[in-house]
């Protein structure tokens, strides 16, 4: 039977008979995990108008949720029956089980407008499930285009529907700074607003002359974090330095390398304007990164480190003096000063540190988890250097690339024939080709990227994200099989996405 489960569970065994539920649905759960049932109750109330009652285990619940420590973190079992039993050792495992039950039920349970439903009929089955990879992430660029809190929370809901567990927020870039920092107020006052953006594709060289801006307050980020906690999604904040810093330098010229004033960048691409390597710039980097980290106390923190041109450092007397002081022979090594300083400070504050793979080219710090984006080979290189790795190669997992080579595709970062279809995503191997089997333990998982130079509206975000994220979720969960089998399940799953109001890219005829 095709139930359209995405990502499909590790194993599902049918049993004879069925189960019928009516409102109010009665669920028993221990106190620590009440919140996941309350979240499920909000979903059922909003979609089908049902009530959920949290009851005692002795009171014959429809669903009982049991904490059983033998399960691996995030694993769970469901046995549907007179009393449906969920077992898990973690809050996440129990939450995934409820999401799975919601997928087994009629599509109305995903509706973003009320659809009355008298009863839910489920088949009897036993599911044993759990992810193969512990990092199953999606990245959102809130710098090139700013996304309001509601849109970020909506994306969190979409990730949770696919049992994805990380949302990486790219909080600054040359074209905008997106977090209020009390001790550096001009970052949001000046750095969060650009005068204009490219019109059409960057290569056309035209401007729209329309101002764009926005930034999150600490309270906004707290709302996002709390929403994510409810959905068992962890927010991973990124402050990207010392490159991609033109918006910073527009706000605080003394942190840059040039004397002429700069504006927040109005073009896409990589600005040559980077932080200088003097003490104030290093102190600044540490202060803002640690402040942002403090807003996400339990999260790993991403320190960026990608695409940092050394042009300005090569002609800077200050940079030359710092190179001499450290005995560096190449300007590239200066970037390592930032990596070391930020990694040290964050690790002291008990944050794990993540960086883009370029930090391997400078003097990086042991313990930094590498996000391999330039190619899968970078993942192999990092693992061979003893680093843990999150696979994010652009050739498969950059969802700002064209969805297909069709001439009708909306403008995207790439130009045809460079495209990433959902079928290509589904064929992605998280273990990079050429990696020695005894280094596989370094591969934490994978992450899909939503860079937003060419994505400016919610509908377009949906179009670029789905169904590629659906395909990605099954790869990251570790249960992908034949693309033809997935396509059949995807066709049903798309009905859920429609019910959720997701403006996904329609499938091409088979």
- Work out how close the CB of 243 gets to ligand ACM at its nearest, in angstroms, rounded to a whole number: 9
Q: If you ran DSSP here, which 8-state letter would residue 402 be given?
A: B
Is 30 in contact with 54 (CB distance < 8 Å)? no
The contacts of residue 229 (CB under 8 Å, 6+ apart) are: none
Closer to ligand ACM by Cβ: residue 87 or 307: 307
- Work out how close the CB of 255 gets to ligand ACM at its nearest, in angstroms, rounded to a whole number: 21
How far from chain centre, in Å, is Cα 171?
12
Is 74 noted as a catalytic residue in this protein? Answer: no
- Work out how close the CB of 308 gets to ligand ACM at its nearest, in angstroms, rounded to a whole number: 10
- Candidate list 75, 129, 173, 240, residue with the active-site label: 173
Closer to ligand ACM by Cβ: residue 109 or 342: 342
Q: Which residue has its beta carbon closest to ligand ACM?
A: 306
**Cα separation values, 507 from 403, 466, 480, Å:** 10, 10, 18
- Distance in angstroms (rounded) separating the CA atoms of residues 222 and 416: 40
Q: Which residues pair with 354 in a beta bridge?
A: 302, 369
Is 425 in contact with 405 (CB distance < 8 Å)? no
- Work out how close the CB of 268 gets to ligand ACM at its nearest, in angstroms, rounded to a whole number: 12
Closer to ligand ACM by Cβ: residue 356 or 504: 356
- Work out how close the CB of 281 gets to ligand ACM at its nearest, in angstroms, rounded to a whole number: 21
Closer to ligand ACM by Cβ: residue 249 or 371: 371
Closer to ligand ACM by Cβ: residue 230 or 444: 444
Give the residue among 311, 129, 339, 325 at the shortest CA–CA distance from 241: 339
- Distance in angstroms (rounded) separating the CA atoms of residues 499 and 392: 29
Pairing of strands 11-22, 119-129: antiparallel
Is 278 in contact with 331 (CB distance < 8 Å)? no
Is 493 noted as a catalytic residue in this protein? Answer: no
- Distance in angstroms (rounded) separating the CA atoms of residues 3 and 387: 39
- Distance in angstroms (rounded) separating the CA atoms of residues 172 and 284: 14
Closer to ligand ACM by Cβ: residue 162 or 378: 378
- Candidate list 62, 307, 381, 474, residue with the active-site label: 307
- Work out how close the CB of 356 gets to ligand ACM at its nearest, in angstroms, rounded to a whole number: 5
- Candidate list 168, 227, 244, 302, residue with the active-site label: 244
- Distance in angstroms (rounded) separating the CA atoms of residues 166 and 299: 10
Is 312 noted as a catalytic residue in this protein? Answer: no
Judged by the rule CB under 6 A, the positions of this chain that interact with ligand ACM are 306-307, 356, 373
* Catalytic residue list: 173, 244, 307
């Amino acid at each position: 039977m095709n139930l359209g489960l995405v990502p499909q569970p590790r194993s599902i065994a049918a049993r004879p008979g069925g189960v019928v539920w009516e409102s109010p649905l009665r669920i028993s759960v221990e106190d620590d995990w009440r919140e996941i049932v309350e979240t499920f109750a909000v979903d059922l109330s909003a979609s089908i108008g049902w009530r959920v009652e949290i009851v005692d285990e002795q009171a014959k619940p429809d669903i009982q949720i049991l904490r059983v420590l033998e399960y691996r973190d995030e694993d769970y079992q469901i046995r549907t029956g007179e009393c449906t039993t969920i077992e898990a050792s973690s809050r996440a495992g129990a939450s995934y089980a409820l999401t799975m039950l919601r997928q087994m039920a009629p599509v109305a349970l995903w509706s973003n407008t009320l659809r009355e439903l008298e009863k839910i009929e489920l088949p009897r089955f036993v599911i044993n499930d759990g992810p193969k990879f512990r990092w199953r992430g999606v990245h959102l660029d809130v710098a090139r285009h700013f996304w309001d809190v509601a849109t970020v929370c909506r994306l969190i809901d979409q990730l949770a529907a696919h049992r994805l567990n990380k949302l990486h927020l790219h909080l600054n870039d040359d074209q905008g700074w997106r977090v209020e920092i009390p001790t550096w107020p001009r970052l949001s006052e000046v750095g969060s607003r650009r005068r204009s953006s490219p019109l059409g594709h960057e290569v056309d060289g035209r401007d729209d002359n329309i101002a764009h801006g926005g930034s999150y307050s600490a309270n906004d980020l707290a709302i996002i974090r709390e929403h994510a906690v409810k959905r068992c999604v962890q927010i991973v904040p990124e402050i990207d330095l010392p490159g991609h810093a033109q918006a910073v330098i527009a706000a605080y010229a003394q942190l840059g390398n040039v004397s002429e004033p700069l504006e927040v960048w109005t073009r896409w691409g990589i600005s040559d304007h980077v932080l200088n390597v003097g003490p104030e710039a290093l102190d600044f980097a540490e202060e803002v990164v640690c402040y942002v980290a403090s807003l996400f106390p339990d999260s790993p923190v991403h320190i960026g480190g990608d695409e940092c041109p050394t042009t300005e450092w090569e002609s800077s007397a200050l940079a030359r003096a710092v190179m001499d002081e450290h005995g560096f022979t190449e300007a590239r090594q200066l970037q390592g000063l930032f990596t070391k300083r930020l990694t040290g400070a964050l690790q002291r504050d008990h944050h794990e540190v993540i960086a883009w793979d370029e930090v391997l080219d400078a003097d990086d710090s042991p313990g930094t988890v590498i996000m391999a984006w330039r190619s899968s080979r970078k993942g192999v290189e990092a693992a061979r250097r003893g680093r843990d790795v999150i696979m994010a190669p652009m050739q498969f997992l950059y969802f700002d690339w064209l969805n297909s080579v069709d001439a009708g595709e909306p403008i995207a970062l790439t130009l045809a024939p460079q495209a990433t279809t959902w079928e290509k995503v589904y064929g992605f191997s998280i273990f990079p080709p050429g990696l020695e089997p005894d280094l596989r333990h370094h591969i934490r998982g994978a992450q899909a990227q939503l860079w937003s130079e060419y994505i400016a509206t919610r509908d377009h975000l949906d179009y670029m994200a789905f169904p590629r994220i659906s395909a990605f979720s099954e790869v990251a969960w570790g249960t992908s099989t034949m693309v033809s089998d997935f396509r059949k399940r995807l066709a049903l799953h798309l009905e859920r996405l429609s019910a959720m109001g997701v403006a996904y890219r329609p499938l091409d005829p088979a």
